[in-house]
Amino acid sequence: MNKEGESRTVKSVAAALEIIQHLREMEGATLSELAEQVDLSQASVHAHLTTLKQAGFVVQKGHNYDVGPQFRTLGEYFLNHSDLYQASKDQVQKLAEETEECTHLGLAQNGQLYLIYEYFGSNAVGVEYHDKKRQQPLNQLHSTGVGKCILAAMPESEVAEILDERGMPQSTQYTITDRDALFEELAEVRERGYAFADQELIPGIRAVAAPIEGPDGIEGAIAVTGPTGKFQGDRFREELPQMVTNAANICEVNLQTVRIK
């Protein structure tokens, strides 16, 4: 295939992915609504939707289109083939049961944060919010415990590239929006081996996270989150960090075992 043909193929794939992204963000849309969002004619958008629908990536109900069930099977495939998930899921559940709070397992890809598994303890808050948050990647590596652990393991030049591309969205009045302040905090994360997030993404919610490292570097991070009323004093600064780092260490051991099989 010539270069012109290759360019058309790439543009076609990019257009299909853009349509899917808009469907997710809009929680479903009509053909005309989608055509207003992308730089394509309604006929071209319709052709993409028809192709995606035949493959199960889009469903149609009347005049409305939405994301299809094929993505569910791909998600299951990803988890079943993720060494990080297989090595960490039991520890995520155990940590949630011990703390009675919400625990997360996350990783980064292309400068975005993906929460690939969560478990809710008996006193966890914000369950509906966390369920909603998993529906799309986050640009908040700088304002989450998991994200800070991941950024702390990167060279500063790579962190700067991510910030250039993704920015530093301010979610609350406590969000770090100054690069120098962020780099200072990342240095502290590297030194102590775990990260705090203090109401930086959600008002009234704190988090403690620890990195999970593999032989080639950091794989992801595990975190516990909860309300400020219960995440304070020695529990927030000492007890929870010890529990989270212990869980991360077991995940690291499990990761080696998983890869030996």
Q: Is residue 139 part of a domain?
A: yes
For residue range 188-231, what is the model confidence (pLDDT) as tens digits? 999 999 999 999 999 999 999 999 999 889 999 999 999 999 99
Helical packing angle, 240-260 and 83-99, nearest 10°: 150
The CATH code of the domain that includes 37 is 1.10.10.10
Q: Write the CB contacts of 24 (distance below 8 Å, at least 6 apart in sequence).
A: 67, 135, 136
pLDDT in tens, 90-110: 999 999 999 999 999 999 999
Asked if residue 176 and residue 235 are part of one domain, the reply reads yes
Has residue 155 got a pLDDT over 60? Answer: yes
Evaluate whether residue 74 is within a structural domain. no
Q: Are residues 102 and 160 in the same domain?
A: yes
Give residue 120's pLDDT band: very low, low, confident or very high (50, 70, 90). very high
pLDDT score of 127 more than 80: no
Considering the domain architecture, whether residues 30 and 105 belong to the same structural domain is answered as: no
Provide, rounded to the nearest whole percent, the portion of the chain with pLDDT above 70.
94
- The count of domains in the chain is 2
221 close to 154: Cβ distance less than 8 angstroms: no
DSSP label at 239?
I
260 pLDDT above the threshold of 80: no
Same domain for 178 and 153, yes or no, is yes
**Confidence label for 261 from pLDDT (cuts 50, 70 and 90):** low
In a domain, 176, yes or no: yes
The DSSP H or E segment spanning 118 is strand 112-120
Q: Are residues 224 and 187 in the same domain?
A: yes
Verify that 22 and 110 share a domain, yes or no: no
Q: Is 23 exposed, middle or buried (0-12, 13-18, 19+ CB in 10 A)?
A: buried
Angle ∠(191,170,201) on CA atoms, nearest 5: 65
> At 232, is the pLDDT very low, low, confident or very high (cuts 50, 70, 90)?
very high
Q: What is the pTM of this model?
A: 0.86
Last residue of a domain, one of 44, 68, 92: 68
Taking a C-beta distance cutoff of 8 angstroms, is the pair 146, 224 a contact?
A: no
Question: Domain span at residue 173?
Answer: 82-260
Confidence of residue 259 (pLDDT cuts 50, 70, 90): confident
Whether 224 contacts 207, CB under 8 Å: yes
CA nearest 77: which of 116, 112, 110? 116
Beta-carbon contacts of 258 under 8 Å, excluding residues fewer than 6 positions away, are 83, 86, 87
Q: CA separation (Å) from 216 to 112, 119, 175, 256?
A: 20, 27, 30, 11
pLDDT of residue 23: 95
Check whether 25 has a pLDDT greater than 80: yes
